[in-house]
Amino acid sequence: MPMNALRDRRCFHHPHREAVARCPECRRFYCRECAVEHDSRLLCADCLARTRADGTARRPSWPWHLPLRLLTGLVGLWFLFYVMGRALLLMPTAFHEGGRTAAPTAETGGP
């Protein structure tokens, strides 16, 4: 909000007070006491109440895409672990068993 837009503006509810914010919902100007920060936005009390009421009324407890996203996540994980398993299978035993690649010999201090 540029300062020029707020200059000489008065609060919608308190005409004797200067405005400090403009509600992005109703586009009216409000003073410090009438504007409320909600979800990183400055709203007026009426719009805040309306937003909350709408959110409660409209928000479905289970959005339709949630099971789909859960399934996508599960399939993605399945793929990742499957690839990991196949990679482990492809690695030679010597890789997993460590020091067995360098079997002790007479030259290296073995029997």
Partner 1 sequence: MTAEWRKNEQPGALAEEALLLVRRAPAAAWAGYLACSVPFVLALLYFWTDMSRGAQAYERCAPAALGLAALFIAMKTGQAYFTALLLDTLAQRTRPWSLRRVLRMAAVQGAMQPWSLFVLPVALLLLYPFVPVHGFFQAWTAFGDGETANLKQIRGRAWSLAMQDLRPQAFTLWLASPWLLGAGMAAAFGTVRMMELIASGGAVHNAEWFGIGAVLFTLFAGLLSPLGFALTVNIGILFATIPALLRIFLGWETLFSISGFYALTNTTFLAALFGVAYLCMDPVMKAAYALRAFRAESRHNGRDILVAIRDMRDAREAAP
DSSP state of 98: G
Residue 23 C-beta: closest distance to partner 1, Å: 17
Stretch that binds partner 1, among 8-16, 23-31, 46-54, 72-80 (CB under 8 A): 72-80
First to last CA, the chain: 83
User: Under the criterion CB under 8 A, does residue 56 sit at the interface with partner 1?
Assistant: no
C-alpha distance from residue 62 to each of 24, 35, 67, 69, 74 (Å): 29, 32, 8, 12, 18
Residue 27 C-beta: closest distance to partner 1, Å: 23
- Which residues within the stretch 83-102 sit at the binding site for partner 1 (CB under 8 A)? 84-86, 88-89, 91, 93, 95-102
Q: Are 43 and 25 in contact (CB under 8 A)?
A: yes
Stretch that binds partner 1, among 3-11, 25-33, 43-51, 56-64 (CB under 8 A): 56-64
Q: Are 92 and 85 in contact (CB under 8 A)?
A: no
> How far, in whole angstroms, is CA 46 from its chain's centroid?
27
Q: Are 58 and 26 in contact (CB under 8 A)?
A: no
User: Under the criterion CB under 8 A, does residue 111 sit at the interface with partner 1?
Assistant: no
In the complex, the residues that contact partner 1 under the rule CB under 8 A are 37-40, 59-63, 65-67, 69-70, 72-74, 76-78, 80-82, 84-86, 88-89, 91, 93, 95-105, 107-109
